Chains A and B, each alone.
Chain A
Amino acid sequence: MYTLSQRLVFIGLALAGGLLILLMRQFLNDYILSIAGFVGIYVILAVSLNITNGFTGLFSLGHPAFMAIGGYTCAILTFPVQRKGYFLSGLPDWLAGTELSFFPALLIGGLFAALGSLLIGLPVLRLRGHYLAVATLGVIIIVQVLITNMGGITRGPLGLNGLPTLTNLWWVYLWVLITLYLGWKLKFSSFGRSMLAIREDEMAADCLGINLLRTRVQALMVGAFLAGVAGGLWAHLVTAITPKSFSLILAFTIVVMVVVGGSGSITGSLLAAVIFSMLTEAFRPLEESLNVYGIGEIVLSLILILILIYRPIGLFGTSEPGWLSPGKRKSLSGTAGD
C-alpha cells in the first residue's frame, strides 16, 4: 500500500505541474505553449501505448489508427453546426444538427477508438510477436484508406480544417493526469499483474487461470481509448486533421519513446516522451533553416537501434522509482523484460 507521505508526494507533484502550467501560461508565448501541448499529448500517447505494449507485451503499432478514429469523431462532434451542412454533406441529419462541447466530444472519440480496437483486436490479437506488429501496421493503412475515401463525412484527403481551438494546456494536463493515474492504478492492480504475467510467460499465465484473450483485448482497449482522446486533443490543438496526420512515422515515434523509456515503466515513458518530443520540436527549426530535412528521424532511429543493441530493456526496465512504488512489492520492480 501507499504510505501517507507517498500520497502527499503524488498530490504535490500534480499540484507542482499545475503551478508550472499556470506560470507558463502567464509568461510564455503561444508558440511555446502549443509545443508544451504537444509534449503533453506525446506523454498520453507513450504512457497509453506502454499499457498495451509494455505491460501486456502486445507489440501493437495501431496507435495512430486509434488516434485517427478518436480525432475524427471528436472533430466532427465539435464542428460548428452552421458549417457542417456545407462541408460535411454525408452526415446523417441528427449528427449534422449536433454540436457538442469539448469534454463529451473527447470522451465519445475515445470510446469510438476503444470500440474500433475491440473490433480489430478480437481477430488480430490471436497473432503473436512481430506478426501482431505487422497486422496492426496494416490497420493504420486500412484506417487511412477508409478515411480518405469517406469524403462525405471526412472530406477525404483534404481533411477537416478550421476546427475551433479548444485544446489548451489545462485540457492536456487533465488528460495527462488521468492517463498517469490510470496507468499507475492498472500497473499495481491484479489486472496489471495479469497483464505482466501474460507478457512474461503466456502458458504459465494461462495455467493460473488468467483469461488471455480477454486481458489482451482489455489492454488494447484501454490504450486505444487514451489514444483516441489524444487524437481529439491533437486535432483541436493543430485545428486541422487529415488522413496523413496519423502515419506509420507517428507510430514509430511513440514506439521509440516506450522502448527507450523501458517497456512497462510509466516513469520511463513519461520522461522519454518529454525528452523526445522536445528534441523533435528543437530539430524542426534547425531542419528548416539549414534545409536538412529528415535529420530528426535519422537521430531518432539511430538512438532506437543503439538502445535495442546495448540496453534492450530501456532506461527504466519495468520498474518505477522506489520512492513512488507501493510498499512491500519491491520484488516486482526488480524484474526486467526478457
Chain B
Amino acid sequence: MSNSRNFIDKRNKTIISAILLVWGLVTVLPFLWMFLSSFKTNAEISQMTQSFLPKRWTFQNYENLFISGNFGVYLKNTLIITASSFFGLMLNAIAGYGFAKFNFFGKRILFLAVMATMMIPGQVTMIPVYLILNQVKLTNTLLGILLPGLVGAFSIFLFRQFMFNIPNSVIESARIEGAGEWYIFWHLVVPMSRPVIAVQGILTFIGGWNSFLWPLIIANNQKYYTLSVGLQLLQGQHTSDYGIQMAGSSFMVIPIIIIFLIFQKYILQGFSVQSEK
C-alpha cells in the first residue's frame, strides 16, 4: 500500500518535473534568443533561416548603440533617475515610520488618502500631472521626470507594516535616555528595518532602471531620454535592424537579471500578502 503510494508520488514528480522543464525552457528562450542575436551580424540576422548561435560573433551592434544610438546619454539619465529614486525610498520609509509609531491629529484620514492613491490609474493622472509640470516649467527636465514617481503608497504601506512590529519599549527607552525622534529613526529604526529596506531597495533600483511612462511624457528632447524611451525610439528608427535592437534590449535586461540573481533570496521572500489577523 505505502509502496504503491510512493510509486505514484515518484511518477507524479517526474511528470511535473517534465512539464516544468518544458515551460521553463519556453520562458528562457526569448532571453537566449535576444542575447545570442545581439552578437550576430546584420547579414546573418536577415537570412530566412538562422542558426541559434551566431556564425561569426561581433560586437558591432553594441558599438553602434553608443555611436549612432546615443545610449551613453540615455544610460547617464537612467542612472541619475535610479539614484534619485532612492531619495524617494527614504521618504517612503520616513512616512511609513510616521504612520506606524506616532499618534497625531488626522492620522486615519491621511493614511486613507495615501492608500486611496494606489487605486488611481496612471492614465488618469498623466494628463493633469503633465499640465502641472508644464505650468511650473518642469517639462523637459530630469526633475520633472522623477518627481511624479518619487514616492509610492504601496512602499509606504510595506514600511508601515514592518515598522509597526518594532517593539515600542525599544523606542520608549531611547526617548527616556533623551534621544530625539530623528536620532531614534536613523540609529534604531533604520538598522532594525534592514530586511524591508533590502527588498524595497532592490525593487526601487529595478523600478528606476525600467522607468518608461513619465520619461516618455515629460521628455521631448533626446537629451533627457532614459534607456527604455531611447530603445523605443531606436526600434522606430531601425525597424528592420534587429541586431542593434537586440543589443539595446540586452543592455537593458542583462544588468537587471544579474542584480536579481545576486539579491534573489531577499526578493523571493518578500511576497507574502496574507490577510492581516
The answer to whether A binds B is no
Interface residues of B (CB under 8 A from A): none
Interface residues of A (CB under 8 A from B): none
